[in-house]
Amino acid sequence: MDRVSLMHSFVAVARVGSFSGAARTLNFSGSLVSRHVAELERQLGVRLVNRTARSVSLTGAGLRYAEFAARILDEIEEEDADISRTHDRAEGTLSVTVPTWLGSVDLADAMASFAAAHPKISVRFELGELSHRTYDFLDGGFDVALHTQDLRDSSVRLRRITTLPFVLCASRDYLERRGTPAHVDDLAEHDCVVHTDDPVWRLGPDHAPAPFRTRDAVYVSNSYLALGQAVAHGRGIALLPQWSARDDLLSGRLHALLPGLGVPERPLHAIYGPGDTVPRKVSVFLDFLTGWFRENPLPAVHVPGGRG
């Protein structure tokens, strides 16, 4: 039997002064209360109760243990109630992790706005590489992980926050040396700059994108910022998040390719732990982040097509 149940029965006997009265208080049978007290005495190795035909009294050890057990049970109830209240309040520490490449100015601005709007929530916001096991962020002590993969994992829950536009692009210097691809099949003859986790590019309209598997990549990195620099220096063609290539596209340093083909946007998802209820701090954060990106959409970049 678990110790807490035994302590509940013993404390009730100590307060009421009888097994039958304790049983009525706990809605147990008298025999069950008696067994609980006997088992507690066995575990402790001391007699806690003097039993006679007419009365029940506590031994010296029983008096001491009754005081201790009552205090412990009261503390358990208080802690249980406090945790339940915390679960229902938007306060405490909220830990969020995101892949390094997603740590854009826009997301940092959204996180800072959330922290300012909810001063009772302490924010822990970390950039790093997420494990391919989607639930590992929970083992790392995080409440929420943000990424762009579409998960089908019952061990976590998922919510779409916004979408992220991508662009296929190359530098002016590269296109002058190697020519501008006119069709997706032409990409096979070009140098490709590829993200480690994104070797298959999906190109075409949102409703029917076609996969293009890059081969013999000339530059590979797990950082889109690094890939963007490689492309800007003329190393090849890359599929980049539009926000990371924005300035170079606007300045003309990079050129969008195959403008008629289209590149599907990618969803930004928040994943969080399973359970019947969501902690209030998490639900408030998800609502805020979704609303923030709705009110502050990632600015569209009107870019010219590839060079002829």
Please tell me whether residues 142 and 208 are part of one structural domain: no
* CA separation for the pair 278, 87 (Å, rounded): 8
Instruction: Kindly state whether residue 230 falls inside one of the protein's structural domains.
Output: yes
Please tell me whether residues 192 and 70 are part of one structural domain: no
* CA separation for the pair 217, 286 (Å, rounded): 37
Instruction: Kindly state whether residue 300 falls inside one of the protein's structural domains.
Output: no
Structural domains in the chain (count)? 3
Between 134 and 183, the more confident residue is 183
Instruction: Kindly state whether residue 285 falls inside one of the protein's structural domains.
Output: yes
Q: Which of 51-60, 80-89, 135-144 has the lowest mean pLDDT?
A: 80-89
Q: Which helix (H) or strand (E) holds 170?
A: strand 166-171
Rounded percentage of the chain residues whose pLDDT exceeds 90: 41
Please tell me whether residues 174 and 245 are part of one structural domain: yes
* CA separation for the pair 98, 224 (Å, rounded): 14
Q: Determine how many CB atoms are found less than 10 A away from the CB of residue 239.
A: 26
Please tell me whether residues 43 and 59 are part of one structural domain: yes
In the numeric block, which tokens belong to residue 207?
């409703």
Between 300 and 235, the more confident residue is 235
Please tell me whether residues 171 and 97 are part of one structural domain: no
> Mean pLDDT throughout 238-253?
88
Is the separation of the CB atoms in 194 and 219 below 8 Å?
yes
* CA separation for the pair 72, 295 (Å, rounded): 50
Phi-psi label, residue 143: left if phi above 0, alpha if psi -120 to 50, beta otherwise: alpha
Instruction: Kindly state whether residue 33 falls inside one of the protein's structural domains.
Output: yes
Please tell me whether residues 288 and 147 are part of one structural domain: yes
Over the stretch 117-128, which tens digit does the pLDDT of each residue have?
Answer: 999 999 999 887
* CA separation for the pair 173, 181 (Å, rounded): 14
Q: Which helix (H) or strand (E) holds 58?
A: strand 56-58
Q: What is the pLDDT of residue 102?
A: 75
150: pLDDT strictly greater than 80 = no
Is the separation of the CB atoms in 210 and 202 below 8 Å?
yes
Radius of gyration, alpha carbons of the chain: 31
Q: What is the pLDDT of residue 230?
A: 95
Is the separation of the CB atoms in 11 and 66 below 8 Å?
yes
Last residue in a domain, options 87, 103, 131: 87
Q: What is the pLDDT of residue 134?
A: 64
Residue 300 per-residue DSSP state: P
pTM of the model: 0.64
Residue 133 per-residue DSSP state: S
> Mean pLDDT throughout 109-124?
93
CATH number for the domain harbouring residue 135: 3.40.190.10
Over the stretch 158-197, which tens digit does the pLDDT of each residue have?
Answer: 899 998 889 999 999 999 999 999 998 899 999 999 998 8
Range of the domain at 184: 166-256
Instruction: Kindly state whether residue 248 falls inside one of the protein's structural domains.
Output: yes
Q: 308 pLDDT band (50/70/90 cuts)?
A: very low
Last residue in a domain, options 87, 109, 139: 87
